[in-house]
Amino acid sequence: MIIDTVVYSFDPRNAPAARVDSGAILSFRTKDCFSDRIGSENQLINDLDLSLGMNPATGPVYVEGACPGDILRVDILDVVPAGRGVVCSIPGCGPLHDTAETRTRVLETENGFAEFNGVRFALDPMIGVIGCTPAEPIPTGWVGDHGGNLDCKLVKKGASLYCPVYVAGALFQLGDVHAVMGDCELCGTGLEIPAVVTVRLTLMKGRSIPYPVLETQEKWYTLAHAKTYDEAVTLTAGAMQQLLMQAYGWDATDAFLYLSLQGDVEICQACVPCSIDMILRCGVPKQPGRPLL
C-alpha cells in the first residue's frame, strides 16, 4: 500500500488516508518541506506563498485498535529520496543568519551522493516530521510532545521510533525527508527532498511514554523539545531517567549517576534563533536482553 495524501497539521479532524491493522507494512510518498515548489536556484524562500504551511506530512494512517495511552512502534524499513534536493537560508533563522544572504541551492542526488561546489558527500536520508496526532491540532512544521518536526538525523532506515498515541486510531503521519542533514540543522533546512518511506506500524497496548523514544542499532534515545537548552536537557534526560528506572528498577539517583557515565546528550535541531523549539536527544547504549521499552 502506498499513501500520498498530504496534510499540513496533526489534527484529529483529518480524515484517515488509510486504515491498517497492527503489524502492517506501508509506504508513504512524501513531498519536500516546500511542497516540492522550489525548482530552481532563482526561487528564494521569500518568494513562496507559505499560507498553506510548511513541512507537509503524508497521512494520516488509522491503526485499528489504537487508543490514547498506547505506544505505536514505527520500524523504519526504507527511506528512498528521489531527484533533486534543496537547501535554503531563511531570513533571521540560524546562528549565522547575519552573515548570510537569502539563497537557494539545488543539488542533484545520484547513486547515494550529492555534490556542493565540487565537494562530494554521501547521502544519509532521514525523516524530519513524524508522529501520532495529538488531541489538540498542531501544524506539521512545529515540534511537540507527540513528535512532529523532530528533525533528528537518526530517524532513518533501520531505526524504530516509539510514538505516544493520543487519539483513537493513532492517526500516524510522516514527511519532511532530508537526503542529508547535520546535527542542529544550522541554517534551518536540510537537503529537502521528496521521498518514499516504508515503515511497519505495530501497536504496543497499555504502554505509555511522555515523548517519542528512538531505538537505533546501538542505542536507546529519548527526544524532547523546549525553547531553551536548560529546559530541553532537563526534559530529555529526565525522560531517559524514567525509562531506566522503569526498565532496570533503579531509583532516580542511580539513574542520574548512570546517565553521567553512559548518557550522551546530543542536538537534533537547534538553529537558533528560530520560531520553533530546539530538540535534544539523550542516548544510552543498548544492553543485551534488557530493552528499555
Binding residues for Ca ion (CB under 5 A): 33, 128, 149, 151, 176
The CB-of-288 to Ca ion minimum distance in angstroms stands at 34
Q: How far is the CB of 12 from Ca ion (least distance, A)?
A: 22
Least Å distance, CB 34 to Ca ion, is: 9
Burial code of 89-121, b = ≥16 C-beta within 10 A, e = fewer? bbeebbeebeeeeeebebbebeeeebeeeeeee
- Cell numbers 499513501 correspond to 3
- Which amino acid is it at 78? D
Least distance to Ca ion, CB of residue 212, Å: 15
Q: Which is nearer to Ca ion, 22 or 109 (CB)?
A: 109
Helix or strand run (H / E) with residue 229: helix 229-248
Contact 281, 152 (CB under 8 A): yes
Instruction: Give the residue with the Cβ less far from Ca ion, 203 or 271.
Output: 271
Cβ distance to Ca ion smaller for residue 176 or 215? 176
DSSP H or E run through 239 = helix 229-248
Q: Which is nearer to Ca ion, 69 or 92 (CB)?
A: 92
Taking the complex as a whole, how short is the minimal distance between the CB of residue 128 and Ca ion, in angstroms? 3
Q: Which is nearer to Ca ion, 195 or 282 (CB)?
A: 195
Closest distance to Ca ion from the beta carbon of 149 (Å): 5
Q: CA of 94: how far to CAs of 18, 89, 186, in Å?
A: 37, 9, 6
Question: Which amino acid is it at 290?
Answer: R
CB of 33 to Ca ion, least distance (A): 4
Measured CA to CA, the distance from residue 196 to residue 157 in angstroms comes to 12
Determine the residue with CB nearest Ca ion: 128
List of residues 6+ apart from 70 with CB closer than 8 A: 165, 170, 203, 204, 205, 206, 207, 208
Q: Which is nearer to Ca ion, 190 or 263 (CB)?
A: 190
Q: How far apart are CA 113 and CA 109, in angstroms?
A: 6
Nearer to Ca ion, 9 or 22 (CB): 9
Q: What is the DSSP letter of 47?
A: G
